[in-house]
């Protein structure tokens, strides 16, 4: 684990790639957002899953992150990690698939997998490299497979989650979404190392800002379903796109679920900073 002074002196991108399970590499960068007078950091992570003869990239990172993602990937290829043969994105939203065109252009052997709705409209030149997948389908990487599994917490109806069959890593896209604090040295840490991070609080804040439907659903049902999925798959590590990776599933998942349940009981506060009615009236036109 990094000491705090060293951690703060580094940029978040300098701490990656980080191997969170054997052959599973966390890459990408943080995105700064202001909310409630605080600076929140959120990840828009990507993960490289290295098999014996091929690698699968899960998510592409935010569009701004492609130079960082490419640098991290090149570092991994220089270490002997097999080339990217598959790109799996959880859904059609910018922080998850915003680098898709550049990934397909840079890695001409890569096949795009998942629910591939609409991507052919943005990138008709790559339509022949898009492959539909649904629950239970799997990509063979050699010695391990990336399997499509039930997306319990989702943003869009087209969402799928992925699961690495070898190290039992779950890639839940917008599930387990929570921000962290750069000034507390959390960037690049896994959830269990970020001891000062109040997981229920940051989980409920993220749900409030990004998953509005959780206000209108009984989140106990969704959390029970998550527990069922985790038990059925025997999940050992969780690699969320926005949250810090979870390496102690039994200890950390209940804290994130607590945040989801708490957020569901509070009215939606709206997105990001906004001017109050009084302040707006005082502002000259
Ligand atoms: Zn998202
Ligand atoms: Zn950060």
* Smallest-distance ligand from the CA of 242: 1
Alpha carbon of 177 to ligand 1 centroid (Å): 8
Residue 269 Cα to ligand 2 middle (Å): 23
For 147-155, the CB contacts below 8 A with 24+ separation are: 148/114, 149/229, 149/233, 150/225, 150/229, 151/90, 151/175, 152/222, 152/225, 152/226, 152/229, 153/211, 153/222, 153/226, 153/260, 154/91, 155/91, 155/93, 155/210, 155/211
- Global pTM value: 0.91
Compute mean pLDDT per 10 residues along the chain, 285 residues long, and list them. Answer: 63 88 96 80 95 97 94 97 98 95 97 98 98 97 98 94 98 95 91 94 88 90 98 98 97 96 82 50 40
Ligand 2 geometric centre to CA of 280 (Å): 32
Taking the centre of ligand 1 as the mean of its atom positions, its distance from the CA of residue 173, in whole angstroms, is 6
pLDDT at res. 271: 59
13 CA to middle of ligand 2, Å? 9
């Amino acid at each position: 684990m990094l000491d705090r002074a060293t951690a703060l002196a580094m940029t978040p991108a300098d701490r990656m790639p980080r191997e969170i399970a054997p052959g599973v590499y966390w890459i990408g960068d943080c995105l700064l957002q202001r909310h409630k007078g605080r600076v929140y950091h959120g990840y828009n992570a990507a993960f490289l899953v290295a098999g014996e003869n091929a690698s699968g990239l899960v998510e592409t990172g935010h569009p701004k992150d492609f130079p960082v993602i490419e640098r991290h990937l090149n570092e991994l290829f220089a270490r002997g990690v097999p080339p990217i043969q598959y790109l799996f994105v959880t859904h059609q939203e910018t922080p998850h698939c915003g680098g898709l065109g550049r990934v397909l252009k840079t890695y001409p052997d890569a096949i795009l997998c998942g629910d591939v709705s609409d991507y052919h409209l943005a990138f008709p030149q790559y339509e022949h490299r898009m492959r539909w997948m649904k629950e239970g389908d799997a990509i063979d990487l050699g010695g391990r497979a990336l399997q499509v599994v039930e997306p319990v917490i989702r943003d869009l109806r087209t969402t799928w989650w992925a699961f690495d069959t070898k190290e039992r890593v779950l890639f839940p896209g917008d599930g387990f979404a929570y921000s962290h604090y750069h000034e507390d040295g959390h960037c690049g840490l896994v959830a269990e190392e970020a001891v000062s991070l109040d997981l229920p609080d940051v989980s409920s804040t993220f749900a409030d800002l990004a998953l509005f439907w959780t206000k209108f659903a009984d989140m106990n049902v969704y959390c029970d379903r998550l527990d069922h999925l985790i038990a059925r798959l025997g999940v050992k590590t969780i690699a969320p796109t926005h949250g810090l990776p979870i390496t102690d599933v039994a200890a950390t998942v209940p804290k994130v679920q607590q945040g989801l349940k708490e957020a569901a009981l509070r009215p939606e506060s709206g997105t990001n900073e906004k001017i109050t009615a009084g302040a707006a009236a005082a502002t000259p036109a």
